[in-house]
């Protein structure tokens, strides 16, 4: 006969919730961090540059900056758009 597992205590449940909240907060901090934004911007530039160099595009160093800059600018404007969108949902 199998033994029934005891239900987690309220303290254990609270500890799990607090652990999860800490992970979620860390993930959110990473999503909004300048380190992440700059790394993705740099990676975008490198990938675009490699593609442009392989395709013998004129001015690949300058042209590769366009998608990288577009990404970076989008990270700056989206928080404003998000706030506007959330305010619209509250009405």
Domain of 17? 10-90
- 65 vs 21: CA distance, rounded Å: 37
pLDDT at 23: 95
64 domain-assigned: yes
50 domain-assigned: yes
86 domain-assigned: yes
75 domain-assigned: yes
Q: How many separate domains does the chain show?
A: 1
72 domain-assigned: yes
3 domain-assigned: no
53 to each of 34, 50, 63, 64, 69, how far by Cα in Å?
28, 5, 10, 9, 18
The one-digit pLDDT tens for each residue of the chain (91 residues) are 555 565 679 889 999 999 999 999 999 999 889 999 999 999 999 999 999 999 999 999 999 999 999 999 988 877 788 888 888 888 6
28 domain-assigned: yes
pLDDT at 1: 53
pLDDT at 79: 77
């Amino acid at each position: 006969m199998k033994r029934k597992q005891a239900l987690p205590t309220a303290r254990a449940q609270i500890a799990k919730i607090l652990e999860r909240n800490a992970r979620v907060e860390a993930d959110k901090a990473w999503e909004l961090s300048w380190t992440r934004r700059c790394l993705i911007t740099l990676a975008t530039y490198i990938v675009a540059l490699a593609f442009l160099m392989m395709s013998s595009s004129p001015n690949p160093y300058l042209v590769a900056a366009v998608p990288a800059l577009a990404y970076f600018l989008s990270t700056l404007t989206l928080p404003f758009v998000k706030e506007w969108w959330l305010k619209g949902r509250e009405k």
